[in-house]
Structure formats: structure tokens, C-alpha cells
Structure 1
């Protein structure tokens, strides 16, 4: 875990004069699970959007594995091995679960990919097998032929996670991965992410559920008002009075 995989250096971002991010500096080491927490409107999702190229910072840089991501398009960043799982699941509702997972596998392999090409590749056995295995790992193996539109919100979250993992990312960015899940599904997701951690995958997680955060995080950055007010281990963050005042509250630590 000595190597820094992601470095966000002095990033600023404003919207119509409102400072969404100010003086953001954080580093994520290889194999680390780094959680970003904070109240609504703190700038967490804005920060992830800057990291994946959906937003360009007003100043500062995002460095991934030595490469400057600033100014690159989202698909270029994705091809470098950075994958984001969104707060609102981005899936293909008219396709089956199996087809949903096959698409990112093909896109990772072949580069730019168009949905109109999909049927041409859908019979490939190796791709199908990999997609089936990923769905099985996520507890969705019995639903491979079901249309994604019929899934519960929690299962849609798990499907998008499967789509992200199928791309074999070097850095996985998760925006509230357990939102909308029942507690048993949340615990199953925690177990899955722990298994991924054991395989050495680097992850950045935005999450409001402190049970999830403290179960997974090696380090935590706390955002409030677009600024990082605290960084450290879970124990250090729990003990910081600024964090208690801004977010966690006495009863949560």
C-alpha cells in the first residue's frame, strides 16, 4: 500500500460563484479503501465527478497512477482503469441482467462500444461466462434472463456494481453503494467489498451509512462546505471534535 494511486491536488470547483470544492487535497494508496463522508451538499459527488471527467476543476489536478486526468473525457479515464458506480443506478432497463453485464465487459475489451453492435457479440461464450460469474458473486445468478427494469432498487444497485466490477477496474469509485438496500443486502454488499479488498482493488466510497463506512474504510476524508475538515483512520475521525460537530454527532461515535 505504499504507492499512491489517486492524488487530488489543490482542486477548486465553483458553480455560479458558489464554491462547491475548495483546496481539496487527498491521496489514496494502492489497495486502500478510502471513504468520503459529510453532510448533504458537502461536495462529495462533485468531487467524484471531477475525478471521472464529468466535471472539469477550475484549478488543480487529478492524478491517477502518474497520469494527469484533468481535461480527459470520461471514456478515456474509464479506459485507464477508473470505474464509477453511481448513486442512481445507470443500467439498461430494457436488457436482461446478463446482457447488462456483458456490455461493459465488451466495452473494456474493445474500447468504444455502441449498443447497436451488441447482438453481434452477445453469443461469445467467454464473455457470457464472465458475466454469469459476476452476477453469481453479487447474488443475482438466478436472475440472469430477467429484464433489469423489473428489479428492486437494491437489486439495481447490485447490478450496477456487477457492471462496474466486470470492467476489472484498478480504481473503483462507489457513490453510496448501499443506498436503497435492506440491512441484509447491505451486509452482503459489505462482505463482497471486503472480498474485493482482499484481492487488492483500490476503492473510494461515498456513503452516509456509518456502519458501512466503519466496516470498510482504511482511511476517511470528511467534507463540509466543500472543504476537507479532517482526514485519518476511522478511529481518528471518530475522535475529532470538528467531525462530531459538522456531521457525525455525539450519538453516532
Structure 2
């Protein structure tokens, strides 16, 4: 079966420092694939290469068999790749509902100007879907409030809603539960399980091992810009290289 995403022999250097070295990664359709590793392992750099924010020095990235290396981020997004960033990227002066409706309009109609966003509430179908997603994420009661007042954890959930409304074929999540309470983290885990039931492929970068082992079908471990292990969560948990490099032998 052809992978949804194939990172083929990718290398990336910064001022002579090898951030990614010979990365070969295949993401199977409909699965949840976690990427873990210590700080500085290259995880976010890898996602930035996948979404076109960085260009690899060598190698290529393929999405559904098509080479997407060299495409701009919005072009990759239009193909069906959405990303939840490590630092939430929202419109703080717009309501939560407007934040979620905006990417749905952009997906349907193409780029929209910022000064148009406040009026994005007239399409009943888009509005209903946005309200439903906000409800799933526990944000419905705040839907008419400006997003800038949200807590960090709620901003992360809002950005996840902004991705889900686009119906991506591949969802990339960079620390999706960072800053959340355990209650909100568990709520997000349950939502991501529901998404998996719909067949959406997900790649998750996450430090919280509870999240990783609750969701992942496959885990890839990076250290020093290289893949040091890959397998099921249990296989990775038992791997002594992983315990030494990341889990500290305590898991």
C-alpha cells in the first residue's frame, strides 16, 4: 500500500549543523504515527520540511505519490495537508467561530483578506460545521468571544478545530496537548481517536508519553537528527536505545 507521506532520504543542515540526516519515513494511510525524541532531535524541523516551510538540502517529500518538495506551504495545504503548530496560530481579534470558519472559506474559495474575516458568518453549512467542531472540542460556549482571551491550552484546541474544518487527508500535529490540563488532554485524545475512526491519517510530535501510547499505531524515535528506532509503541518502549536517548530508562 502506497504511503500517504514519504520522506525520502532527507537531509537538512543549519550553519554546518546536521539537523536531519538521511531521514527515510513512511506514513501509512489511516494510521496515527508519532514522532518522539529529546529537545533538538529534529522533530519540528522535519515537520517544517514536510509542509514546505523549509527546503531539504537533499532528498524529497512525497504526498500520495506526488513530490511536494518545492511547493509553497499554501499549495501543500490545498492538496490536503494541515498542521497544528507548536505555537498556536490563530486570529486573536476574531471570535472562535470566525477563526474556525475562515479556513473553511479559504479552502473552498481560495485566499481571503484579513479585513474580510469579520463577516464570515453567513454560510449556514460552514457555520453549522464550525459550531459542531467547537462543541466536540469543548469550546462551544465561547464561540462568540474573541480568541485572544483564551488560555494557551484552549488556543491549541481552537487551532485544531481550524485544521479539522478543512477535512485534511493528512493532519500534522506539533505538540497538540502542550499547555493543556490533564482533563483537556484526555478530551483531545478522545477526539483524535474519533478522527482516526474516520480514516484520517495523523502524524503527532508529542512529549507526553500518555498521549503517544494512547494514540499511536507506530512510533518513530529521532535523536541527533537521525532515526534511531521505529515500531509499535510497546516495541519502542522496550528498546534500550530509546530508553537511553529519550525515556531515561524509566518507562
Report the TM range for the smaller structure's normalisation: over 0.9
Structure 2 residue aligned with 1:20: 19
Between 1:128-137 and 1:13-22, the stretch displaced more is 128-137
Structure 1 residue aligned with 2:109: 110
Structure 2 residue aligned with 1:214: 213
Contact map agreement 2:228 2:242 (CA 8 A) in 1: yes
- Report how far residue 137 of structure 1 moved: 1.0
Deviations 1:194-223 (A, max 9, x none): 010111100000000000000000001000
Partners of 1:175 and 1:14 in 2: CA distance: 21
Partners of 1:53 and 1:157 in 2: CA distance: 21
Contact map agreement 2:2 2:65 (CA 8 A) in 1: no
TM-score (norm 2): 0.98
Q: How does 1:21-100 map to 2 (within 5 A)?
A: 21-100=20-99
Contiguous gaps of at least 5 residues in structure 1: none
- Report how far residue 121 of structure 1 moved: 4.2
Deviations 1:123-146 (A, max 9, x none): 222221111111111111111101
Between 1:196-205 and 1:112-121, the stretch displaced more is 112-121
Aligned length: 251
Partners of 1:169 and 1:96 in 2: CA distance: 23
Partners of 2:135 and 2:68 in 1: CA distance: 33
Structure 2 residue aligned with 1:232: 231
- Report how far residue 13 of structure 1 moved: 0.3
Secondary structure of the 2:94 match is: coil
Q: Cα RMSD over matched residues? A: 0.9
Q: How does 1:199-210 map to 2 (within 5 A)?
A: 199-210=198-209
Partners of 2:101 and 2:242 in 1: CA distance: 42
- Report how far residue 251 of structure 1 moved: 1.2
TM-score (norm 1): 0.97
